[in-house]
Every structure is written in C-alpha cells, then in structure tokens.
Amino acid sequence: MTYILIALFIIVIGLVLYTRSKLAGILVVSTPVVILTGWWVLVSNHYFVPSTNLENEAVGEFRLLETLAEDQLDSLGTFEERKQENGYSYQNEDHLHLSTDEENRILSVSSGESHLEASSGLKVGDRLSKAKALYGDHFYTYQEMGLGEATVYVDRENQFLLTLWSKDEMSISSIWLSTIH
C-alpha cells in the first residue's frame, strides 16, 4: 500500500511540474520506471551475481569440457544422437540430455529424470535449502514457462552455470550444468 501511495505522489508531483516545465515533469514521472528497470536488470542478470566456484562440478560422471566417451553413454542406456550446428546432442528415455561441441567436449548436461547426482551430492528431489547450504547465497532466479523456477549459480572464472530447476519452489526437479556461451 505504501508503494502505491508513493507512486501516486510521484505522479501527482510530476503532473504539477509538467504544467510548469515539461522536462521536469517527465523526469519526475519517469524516475520510478528507471529505478524499477535498473532493479530488474540487477536481480535477473548473471553479470551482477557474485561468482561461485563450480570448477570441480559434474553431473554423474559427466564433467564440463571433458571429452565424452562412448562407454559413458552406453552405461546409461540408449541415447538418441542429433547433429547440431556446433556439435551434437544426446538424450535418453530418462531425459538425461548432453550437448557437445565438434570435438565431442561436453558443453552441457541436464539430469532430467535420471538419478544422477551432482558431484556435491545434490540430486533431483533434494530441497533447494540443501543447494543453498552447498553452494551459498550468490545466485539469481528466473521463471520459465513449463519448467518452473530456475536458481542459477555462476562461475565466472571457469565460465560455468549451474541451474537448479524447481516446480514447487522447494524441491529440485532438474539439475543443469552448462558452459556460458
């Protein structure tokens, strides 16, 4: 309620100023929009989140930038392979998804419905509070229709992202480890 009153007050002041000076009125009325836009960019952008060390992070036996071996895929069942513009993607019936570059180095791995754990011990079904205890409070969030809410940890030095998807805002529904493109 307080924010609504402040917004109305700023609009009224802006309109009064507008009758005397168009520039002053426009500046006063646009100030809340500029502040809200700046706040939104700050909280929803990985450039402003402190870095989290993800150097040793992996999902199952899949570590970013390591070469994907055929026996790694064979141990987890049948995968569908697709050629992409800059590499390959692989997906199995548990929705475990891997992306590689032309040299077959792993660029991203998503746990899907598989029972693979992150190297930290985090797995699908764990609570987000466990993730925050393991990785800290330096993350940003966003929502994606159909996937739920993403909690994203950024490792700037290694150029890695760890995205934890949650549909109920309490438990992890998918773990996605990827490189920053």
> Is pLDDT above 90 for 180?
no
Cα angle at 93 between 179 and 119, to 5 degrees?
40
Domain identity same for 39 and 13: yes
Which pTM value belongs to this model? 0.74
Q: Are 124 and 175 in contact (CB under 8 A)?
A: yes
Domain identity same for 18 and 100: no
Mean pLDDT of 90-100: 87
Domain identity same for 83 and 13: no
* Number of compact structural domains in the chain: 2
Residue 87 neighbours by CB under 8 Å, 6+ apart: 99, 100, 101, 102, 104, 107
In the chain, pLDDT over 90 holds for what percent of residues? 40
Write out the residue range of the structural domain in which residue 32 sits: 2-43
> Is pLDDT above 90 for 122?
yes
Domain identity same for 36 and 102: no
Domain identity same for 39 and 100: no
Domain identity same for 105 and 37: no
pLDDT of residue 18: 84
pLDDT of residue 147: 81
pLDDT of residue 43: 62
For all residues of the chain together, what is the average pLDDT? 87
38-50 pLDDT, tens per residue?
A: 777 766 666 778 8
Assigned token pair, 109: 């791995």
